[in-house]
Amino acid sequence: MINIGNKERLKELKQALGSLSRVPLTRLPTPLEPCAGLRLELGGPELWIKRDDLSGLTLGGNKTRMIEYALGEAIAQGVDTVVAGAGVQSNYCWQLAAACARLRLECHLLLGALPTEKETEIRGALLLDLLYGARVEIIPSVDWEVIGETIRRRARELEAAGRKVYIGRVGQESALGINACGYAAAALELLEQAAEKGLQIDQVWVCSSDTTQAGLALAFKHLETPVRLVGVPALPEPVVPGWSFPECISHFANQCAKILGLKTRVLPEDIISIPDYVGEGYGMITDASREAIRLVARSEGLLLDPVYSSKAMAGLIDHIRSGRIAAHERVVYIHTGGVPALFTAGDSLGLEDRLIASQAKGVTV
Ligand SMILES: Cc1ncc(COP(=O)(O)O)c(C=O)c1O
């Protein structure tokens, strides 16, 4: 018998999620697939992958589940315009731009980038933002305070012009709780899907610095599941200055609990967050993340991204190789998407040696 937690609480969580305003953007459930090829390469535990890179809304990713709840609430309040921002290659922003296109909301994106030619080239996420019709302005700074303030200023200007504005994540951190609800729902989905497959999950690994892990942690704790949840942040520091990752994640989990009307509270000591795989900084490829991208592509025919999903996979691979995850355990890795960034990283993956020089002689073109 598979233990997916306390049945009464499962019903309570489902009802609470069902009572929120939500706009459907995803194709759920996302597949839960075995990773036999990767297991062959690594040995060790039984490996599964939850394909949130296929969550729908074009190219998928973890933010789409969150945007369903965040925009659901905003639309219920009569919002007609969205203002958001982050780094120029933000996955959140392109998923938000796609959602706005589908929901016919005006979308303004203020994207921070160093003013170099490469940073502002129309590729990856920036290419998608523009295609989805967002009004994009590049801010020549990668300071979150500066980006947040610019977003709030733009929102005030639009409100003065009569628009009803929703502000996205950066610039309005109090909105992270509603975003986390998307992953409380994902936890439920995963547990039910695993039960159908007769899979008793021992560990779940995911790349997260805040909201994804917050929603999962709340649901797993509320349901009293025995699953060990491990988050690997892709940021060197948490979004709230001076706080630790567990403090941040438990704080957003509790914001989510309040929105859902649940009594459960998550404590920092409930959170396992391993910030050892970021490398030199946000978005910087490490030897381990490069190897993770190449290994998963070769053994599973699956793509990871250089900024997020490969960092969590690097952590998981390291823990398997070093024997910190036992061979009898069943591990689910949640793929959070981000693949558009892979196509901006061709010169960092060390693939040049795999190109076979032409052996043809005497061929004229
Ligand atoms: C592809 C991808 N994975 C993981 C994350 C981490 O999400 P969070 O820290 O909000 O849980 C992000 C955040 O932007 C992302 O784009």
- The pLDDT tens digits of the residues spanning 281-312 come to 888 999 999 999 999 999 999 999 999 999 99
Would the pLDDT of 365 be above 70? no
Q: 95 or 117: whose pLDDT is higher?
A: 95
Predicted TM-score of the model (pTM): 0.96
Would the pLDDT of 364 be above 60? no
Are the C-beta atoms of 111 and 85 separated by less than 8 Å?
yes
Which residue is associated with the tokens 């009803």?
Answer: 164
Q: How far is the CA of 211 from the centre of ligand 1 (A)?
A: 8
Domains, the chain, ordered by start:
7-60+175-348 (3.40.50.1100), 62-174 (3.40.50.1100)
Atom of ligand 1 nearest to the CA of 338: 1
Confidence of residue 143 (pLDDT cuts 50, 70, 90): confident
Q: What is the pLDDT of residue 360?
A: 65
Ligand 1 pocket mutation pick from 30, 65, 91 by most atoms within 8 angstroms of CB: 91
- Tens digit of each residue's pLDDT (9 = 90 or more) over 98-114: 999 999 999 999 999 88
55 lines ligand 1 (CB under 6 A): no
DSSP E strand boundaries for the chain: 32-34, 46-51, 81-87, 106-112, 135-139, 165-167, 203-207, 228-232, 272-273, 330-335
Q: Which residues pair with 272 in a beta bridge?
A: 230
- Tens digit of each residue's pLDDT (9 = 90 or more) over 27-63: 999 999 999 999 999 999 999 999 999 999 889 999 9
- Tens digit of each residue's pLDDT (9 = 90 or more) over 218-256: 999 999 999 999 999 999 999 888 999 999 999 999 999
- Comparing CA positions, the residue from 148, 164, 186 lying closest to residue 73 is 164
Would the pLDDT of 353 be above 90? no
**Catalytic site residues?**
90
- Tens digit of each residue's pLDDT (9 = 90 or more) over 144-165: 889 999 999 999 999 999 999 9
Are the C-beta atoms of 51 and 26 separated by less than 8 Å?
no
Confidence of residue 357 (pLDDT cuts 50, 70, 90): confident
Q: How far is the CA of 3 from the centre of ligand 1 (A)?
A: 28
